[in-house]
Amino acid sequence: MDTTLDDPLVGRVLDGRYRVDARIAAGGMATVYRAVDTRLDRVLALKIMHPDLAADAVFVDRFIREAKSVARLAHPNVVAVFDQGTDGPYTYLAMEYVSGCTLRDVLRERGALQPRAALDILEPVLAALGTAHRAGFVHRDMKPENVLIGDDGSVKVADFGLVRSVDSATNTTGSVLGTVSYLAPEQIEDGITDTRVDVYACGVVLYEMLTGAKPHTGGTPAQVLYQHLNEDVPAPSAAVPGLPAALDELVAHAAARSPELRPYDAAALLGLAREARARLSEAELDAVPPQARAQERSATEDRTSVIPRPVGQGQPVLHTSRLERPPVAEQQAPAQAPPRRVPQRGMLLVIAAVLLVLGIGGGVWYINSGQFTKVPNLLGKTEAQARDELSAAGLGVKKVDRKFSEAFERGTVMETSPGGGKQIRGNGAVVLTVSRGPEVVSVPDLKGRPLEEAKEELTKAGLAPGIVTQAFSQDVAQGSVISTDPAGGQKRAPDSAVALLVSKGRPVQVPSVTGKSADQARAALEALGLKVETAPEQVNSPSPAGTVANQSAAAGTQAAAGDTVTLTLSKGPRQVQVPSVAGQDVEVARKTLEALGFKVKVDRPFLSFSNTVDTQSVPAGQSAPEGSTITVKTKGL
């Protein structure tokens, strides 16, 4: 029966702008309408929160804050959020209207898809989730109902942001949100929801696209939850023989029971999906799947449910998701325990299933059993203080987010999830949101500040010390900051690097100490404020033994006070054997001797016109100091 005519919102104009034309779908959290933006004359979708949830100020505040964040995703595969507002009792989101159907509609009509079609849907979904994950968002409720396929073939992910707000609201009752067929084991057991729960759900969705059926089924939610915790998602080829191994491996990676074995986020899984596609031939991609084995579907599997506390721990609330029919009566089929020994966690699930069969408890009892602890109020505490207080309460830190804040000092806790005073399982974990300080910070004036002190000031201001370079300065003390880049007073985003130019002090002109004794050289250099070291090895040189042969800083260069000059001492000249050059042409003899390190002097007697060496001052075969002078004499008349 069409209930659109009975809906009081149809025909109404919200905020003087959005004309509600028809109801599209009704869910547990909100109702979705097709509407027209009368200002821009475009069709869009309005998601309007149910009045009972809109009365919760905390829920509305989170809903609005998350909606604003999701609106910044701006990804072609994410259903865009255009506007948010409130008109009387109605809190709404104005979103992109996608004319088409959901992936659930496609699976109901066609069953298993060809591998190419499955990957063509999976990859844009992962691209959207990957962008969200890198921006700090987790969808938490991925399923075929939230994958929209437009008439133009576009693929878009819906319900970003709302699930996060719902999670924050329902944590106060200790409930588990999500469609049970797609919940990751850690969501069920510990309430942990990081990027890998979306990866797990995508693995289940891929399995369903390839086989036409869910990997885990049962007559009750408890039976499905038990399988998530204790049974691996089977290989798709077990249900559809002939599917390539690459697709089995892709499902196994994404839907691994241990989160450590899954890709870290959807972007990483997207890379694996593209690698798997590249391994498939055209024939494998376009293979028409046989009719996958039929499996019964319980209405309890296909709806997004809030699995409630037992009797006495809050009223159970059940919600149906968008485009889903109302739940039918559950089939009373007993849970089938596996033949192996049932662990304690599995035993609780079996007990829960039996309770459901008997109509006792009205929900999944095991999820909420155990000790609950109140989360301490951590606002304004440093991250270290918050961790200490949580540890003292027996709680852990799930992750730390960092956001800008004008109200909270940098490094202090500005938000926790769950919030202070809320109940959490005794071994649970808390998400801390730590302030990054203002979104724009001013670079402090650091001229004249010692380097380490300047680095501390930058860190305190929310900036990062950058590259340190040195230069001589006549007016800034050695080791202190001459200038920064950017300069003091300029505005920069937090964590931006600031380069520091540090003074080397006044320049010192290095003198020549070559040939001086070690003591004379040391005294001359230390008088200028330089440090002196002596090299352990001595070298042969023309300088006398014990005098300076070399200095590390050349004469005439500039150094800073406190710089070190290393002196290398001489062990005297090297002794070189002198060859015979008698009878050689004078120029040939000169080149021979100079090549050995000698200096050469030519002695020509009066009226001698000969160019032939007659005698040499050092006889052939004897040794002479390298660098000494050898005289060659020509023959006279």
Which of the residues are catalytic?
141
List, as own/partner pairs, every contact residues 384-390 make where C-beta atoms lie below 8 angstroms and the sequence separation is at least 24, other chains included. Answer: 386/413, 386/416, 386/432, 390/430
Angle at 267 between CA 262 and CA 273, to 5 degrees: 70
Strands 629-634 and 599-603: parallel
Report the C-alpha gap between 203 and 212 in whole angstroms.
Answer: 14
For residues 31 and 48, the answer to whether their CB atoms sit within 8 Å is yes
DSSP 300: T
For residues 390 and 376, the answer to whether their CB atoms sit within 8 Å is yes
Q: Which residues contact 458 (CB under 8 A, 6 or more apart)?
A: 444, 446, 464, 465, 498
Residue 129 tokens read as 């989730």
Report the C-alpha gap between 113 and 215 in whole angstroms.
Answer: 15
Report the C-alpha gap between 64 and 54 in whole angstroms.
Answer: 11
**3-class secondary structure for 281-295?**
CHHHHCCCCCCCCCC
How far apart, in Å, are the Cα atoms of 581 and each of 576, 602, 604, 608, 615?
Answer: 15, 12, 15, 18, 8
DSSP 3-state of 193: coil
Report the C-alpha gap between 69 and 135 in whole angstroms.
Answer: 9
Report the C-alpha gap between 180 and 228 in whole angstroms.
Answer: 9
Q: Which residues contact 230 (CB under 8 A, 6 or more apart)?
A: 338, 343, 345, 346, 349
Tally helices (H) and strands (E) across the chain: 17, 31
Amino acid letter, residue 29:
M
Residue labelled with tokens 């109302």? 326
With residue 402 as reference, give the H or E element that holds it: strand 396-403
35 has which bridge partners?
Answer: 20, 44
Q: Which residues contact 417 (CB under 8 A, 6 or more apart)?
A: 168, 171, 430, 431, 433
If phi > 0 it is left, if psi is from -120 to 50 it is alpha, else beta; for residue 602 that is beta
In 3D, which of 562, 498, 508, 560 has the Cα closest to residue 533? 562
For residues 215 and 204, the answer to whether their CB atoms sit within 8 Å is yes
Work out the number of other CB atoms within 10 angstroms of the CB of residue 285.
16
Residue 628 tokens read as 């000494």
